[in-house]
């Protein structure tokens, strides 16, 4: 025996079944409770409960399923059954929206639109009379649900969540689902048996599939493996700035060291000897055919006067070094 009603009791049981494992999971985490991941978990749980509330307690109305009558039941018969269920006299007028719905259901074409768009659209759109008008009236309502789901996915995949790379795929999947649903609603043929029973209610079933998608997609994205957090560039930039500053000071002091070396005979002789040794060793390397051949293969040719890549590299290197030395004041143009 239900305590309140079967639907409300079911919702309470489902809520307890979701909140209890969530609370146990968060309690066992060694990290602090107030983290971005836990906040996103709370958001996904709240969204899931909201969707479940809609599925369990706000199922779209369907007068034929509620009364368990064939779709081909005449409007006057439906009116009589409604008054009988309500315990009212047969002359009692029905509420205006319900009376307008029964008046519209006098047309067989309107009953096919009822299967396609649902009772709410047929009942609420007072000015609609054709298929296109009902479609224009129903599409924004469907799109609003998808926009809400896209907003939840955007929140689930915000920067720092570890799921940023899934945002494009999840939103694209939502857009594809919206297009497929609209296409299905607009083009699916409606078949009504002669007895009017066992009619596949396209609106109600697509509504259920849509909300199941809204329920499962954010949970699935949030449960996917998280990517490694991107490193903070601030320490790297600080280290690079310090290294560049140190290098700049060393390069600036080079011209003073060069001038001081020229004033000391011992240092001047040692410097001349070192540069002469480097010149001789460099000449050996440049005159060696094997070294020159290997350098040309690597695109670092050292032969002067060549128009190929190696020659251009040599000229570019000399020009860069000359500009650096002129900027430091070591040599003059």
Residue given tokens 């954010």 in the structure block = 218
Tokens of 187: 């083009």
Q: Which residue has the higher pLDDT, 282 or 306?
A: 282
Examine the pLDDT at 311 and tell me if it is beyond 60. Answer: no
Examine the pLDDT at 298 and tell me if it is beyond 80. Answer: no
Residue given tokens 């609420």 in the structure block = 124
* pLDDT given at position 314: 64
299 pLDDT band, cuts 50/70/90, is low
Q: Which residue has the higher pLDDT, 233 or 219?
A: 219
Per-residue pLDDT reduced to its tens digit, 71-97: 888 888 888 888 888 787 877 888 888
Examine the pLDDT at 217 and tell me if it is beyond 80. Answer: yes
Average pLDDT score, the chain: 82
269 pLDDT band, cuts 50/70/90, is confident
304 pLDDT band, cuts 50/70/90, is low
Q: Which residue has the higher pLDDT, 332 or 15?
A: 15
Examine the pLDDT at 170 and tell me if it is beyond 90. Answer: yes
Tokens of 273: 């000897």
306 pLDDT band, cuts 50/70/90, is very low
307 pLDDT band, cuts 50/70/90, is very low
Tokens of 77: 């018969």
Mean pLDDT, residues 226-248 taken together: 77
Q: CA-CA distance, 244 to 236, in Å (whole number)?
A: 12
Per-residue pLDDT reduced to its tens digit, 146-167: 999 999 999 999 887 888 888 9
Mean pLDDT, residues 129-155 taken together: 92
Query: How would DSSP label each residue in 140-182?
Result: HHHHHHHHHHHHHHHHHT-TTSS-GGGHHHHHHHHHHHHHHHH
Examine the pLDDT at 39 and tell me if it is beyond 90. Answer: no
Q: CA-CA distance, 215 to 218, in Å (whole number)?
A: 7
- Collapse the DSSP code of 3 into the 3-class scheme (helix H, G, I; strand E, B; otherwise coil) and give the result: coil
Kindly report the number of other CB atoms within 10 A of residue 330's CB atom: 13
224 pLDDT band, cuts 50/70/90, is confident
């Amino acid at each position: 025996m239900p305590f309140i009603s079967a639907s409300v009791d079911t919702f309470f049981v489902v809520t307890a079944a979701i909140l209890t494992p969530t609370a146990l999971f968060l309690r066992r985490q060694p990290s602090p409770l107030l983290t971005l991941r836990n906040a996103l978990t709370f958001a996904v749980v709240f969204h899931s409960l909201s969707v479940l509330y809609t599925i369990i307690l706000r199922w779209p109305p369907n007068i034929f399923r509620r009364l368990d009558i064939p779709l081909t039941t005449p409007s006057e018969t439906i009116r009589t059954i409604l008054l009988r269920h309500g315990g009212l006299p047969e002359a009692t007028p029905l509420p205006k929206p319900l009376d307008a719905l029964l008046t519209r259901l006098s047309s067989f074409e309107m009953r096919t639109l009822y299967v396609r768009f649902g009772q709410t659209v047929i009942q609420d759109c007072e000015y609609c009379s054709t298929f296109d008008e009902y479609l224009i009236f129903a599409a924004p309502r469907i799109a609003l649900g998808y926009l809400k789901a896209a907003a939840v996915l955007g929140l689930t995949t915000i920067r720092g969540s570890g799921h940023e790379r899934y945002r494009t795929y999840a939103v694209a999947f939502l857009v594809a689902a919206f297009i497929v649903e609209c296409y299905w609603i607009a083009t699916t043929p409606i078949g009504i048996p002669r007895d009017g029973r066992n009619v596949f209610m396209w609106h109600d079933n697509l509504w259920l599939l849509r909300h199941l998608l809204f329920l499962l997609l954010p949970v699935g994205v949030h449960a996917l493996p998280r990517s490694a957090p991107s490193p903070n560039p601030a320490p790297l930039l600080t280290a690079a700035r310090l290294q560049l500053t140190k290098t700049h000071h060393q390069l600036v002091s080079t011209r003073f060291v060069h001038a001081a070396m020229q004033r000391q005979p011992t240092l001047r002789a040692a410097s001349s000897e070192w540069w002469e040794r480097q010149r001789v060793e460099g000449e050996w390397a440049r005159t060696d055919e094997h070294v020159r051949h290997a350098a040309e293969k690597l695109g670092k040719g050292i032969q002067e006067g060549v128009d190929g890549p190696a020659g251009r590299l040599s000229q570019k290197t000399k020009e860069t070094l000359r500009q650096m030395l002129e900027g430091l004041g070591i040599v003059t143009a």
